[in-house]
Structure 1
Amino acid sequence: MTAESTESTEPTGATEPTGATESAESAESITHEQMWDDRYNESERIWSGEPNATLVQETAGLTPGRVLELGCGEGGDAVWLASRGWRVTATDISGVALGRTAEHAAGAGVADRIVLERHDLAESFPDGSFDLVCAHFLHSYQDMPRERILRTAAAAVAPGGVLLIVGHSGFPSWMEEPPVDVRLPGAREVLDSLALPVGEWEVLVSAEHRVPSTGPEGQQGFHANNTVKARRLA
């Protein structure tokens, strides 16, 4: 239930919703936690360690406060946010990923600004309210109530705070046939599914964008991504 830094340096497999090399059938035969722990145990590092480009762009000008990150992966975004003064609550379903985030944060000297929590967001959610709640590429081959999770995320935004959701709108252009039937909604669909109360939110961004993407065999193409950003007024 985590993905990280597909907008920057892409490791092999980072363009798939889970990044997993398993088939959909094998993914369904194990628990969600085990699937992600196995994925991270495939190599010493999966992601680039750099923050997502959209996060950098969309948080420019925001006053640092409390931030909740859903699906922190190996900590590229969490460490970047902490280094810029945010107090970060970083969650992931994978204990392996959280361990790597802790190591990254310690190496960057920001461990005291990051609280790590292990959650299967379909079952539990961090307590509290936040000035920024962000989710980047929160997709999974396994069944995951993504819309419900993102509505819960919106409810965790404090008045005056910002909700930032970045996701895939489809599979990579170089992928001839998607490996599994997973819904990858566009920006409009994501925004509609949030059901934000009229008069209580200001939509700041609802947009599609393409990011260059390289396949495991060197195929060149793009990944269609989308960004939804909204500020809570009340």
Structure 2
Amino acid sequence: MSTIVLIPGAWHTPAHYSEFTTALRALGHEVHVPRLPSLNGSRPPNADLEADSDFIRTYVESLASAGRSITVLMHSYGGQVGTNALEGLGAKTRAAQGLTGGVVGLVYIAAAALTERRSMRDFVVEHGHGHLLDLAFDFAEDRTCVSADPKTLVVGAGRSDADTEAYIASLQRWNGNGFDGKLKACAWRDIRNVGYVHATLDMTLPLDYQKDYVQILRDGGCAVRTWELETGHCPTFTMFEEVARIVNEFVEGK
């Protein structure tokens, strides 16, 4: 049995991935979806990218120490967290230290794949879209935020109105300072088995951003496997069975 850890995106709790994780478990995988500290509901927020990264590193390291071979899935902001958190936890790196277990693969699902000393805001500004952040996201005075139009910009088409409204209603306010958190580490530099699931209709992380992330990974020496799904920013909701099949294919090395 393979072990999968899914790092949620901004605004998302583990419950948002329930159908997807059920599909993965039906394919024989052990699945973990830890809740990020930045989604703890504190106002003003008391957890940021660094806190999320420390938490995920501890969580994954505990599984590695138990001898698990782990594939880490990252959705949206989860890409920043996983990239920042998992350096040095690759199975090959741990084996060289005489340790068992570790991360054997990374899969970005419409997720940010940045390099050290860069933030999501830096990336958006470099693309000439910095002014759009305050339009796309509703920031409160304490810097917590939600999408200004989650039905259109985050979820998109693919599910019934009732399912979509329930999904949106359970999205949580998130610490918007996460947009400004600069990465201190870059896990894919030593965990080079990488996949990227493109959401071609994504209006929160546009396809050209996603393509640029893949190029960053390839420029860094990763041979990235890619897949494209014609859906919005949340393919683990709108096309969860298809994403589960992709992940299963990646884990099995097909």
After TM superposition, the score normalised by the length of structure 2 is 0.30
Bigger fraction of residues in helix = 2
Return the structure number with greater relative CO, CA threshold 8 A, min gap 6.
2
Bigger fraction of residues in strand = 1
